[in-house]
Structure 1
């Protein structure tokens, strides 16, 4: 019978799993919405942009929110409530908004500590990139 040689012990500890993205998809933040926030990629669909904007609200990334807002409806400034704690996102419906469209809609419910926001958002492509135009609040 052959004798096995002992393998050297590993000195590094186990890798920590990356936190999942705030948008609700199972990918790590850096590989999901984080790449859009950093400017490493552009959201390919209206839904991806909406998810990334939700994540920007969660992380407090005002620059990204303003950068992805339609120039005709973008506010001069945006002040986020530092006490707001977003707790989850549910996409309820999408209309158009793919790589083959110039407009799209996403209906979603964003939960926060103490309540939720239900919105139907409109998106358009400007210069090839998806941007948020405006939203309406459907009756529940």
Structure 2
């Protein structure tokens, strides 16, 4: 996902969770962003990271990134509006796995145009928590 300008979550966080699950933001990804819960699977982490991009929570994104691939800083593109997340496929990531893969499509709008970013993301279970390692990205218009 694009990294350009740093934004912090605001008091006007969304009521519905951006990740697409039926729960409200506070009870879904918001609890992960606040640190009151941890993702129990790569898919839950992927959904919470997508929501972090939507609400501008760069601290959460960096905190859930594997130390070997984490950038020193993260700036989000303020002209990009994330609209919808689709989970395409998952592999591994169960309670007895140390790795997992989530393939997703994130729809966005930028400069009056719609697009989609597709990524096959790799996750690792590190020190008792799932973290994002890296991914193979393609962008479509």
Tell me whether 1:127 sits opposite 2:123 in the alignment: no
List structure 1 segments (4+ residues) > 6 angstroms apart after TM superposition. Answer: none
Tell me whether 1:86 sits opposite 2:75 in the alignment: no
Give SS of 1:28's match: coil
Counterpart in 2 of 1:115?
Answer: 115
TM-score normalised by L of structure 2:
0.84
TM-score normalised by L of structure 1:
0.84
**Alignment CA distance shift 1:32-1:134 (3 Å):** same
Q: In 1, distance between residues paired with 2:108 and 2:139?
A: 18
Tell me whether 1:52 sits opposite 2:18 in the alignment: no
Which structure is richer in relative contact order (CA contacts within 8 A, separation 6 or more)? 2
Give SS of 1:85's match: strand
Instruction: Flag structure 2 segments of 5+ consecutive residues without an equivalent.
Output: 1-13
Give SS of 1:31's match: coil
Instruction: Flag structure 1 segments of 5+ consecutive residues without an equivalent.
Output: 1-17
1:13-52 maps to which residues of 2 (within 5 A)?
19-52=15-48
Query: Whose strand proportion is higher, 1 or 2?
Result: 2
Aligned pair count reads 123
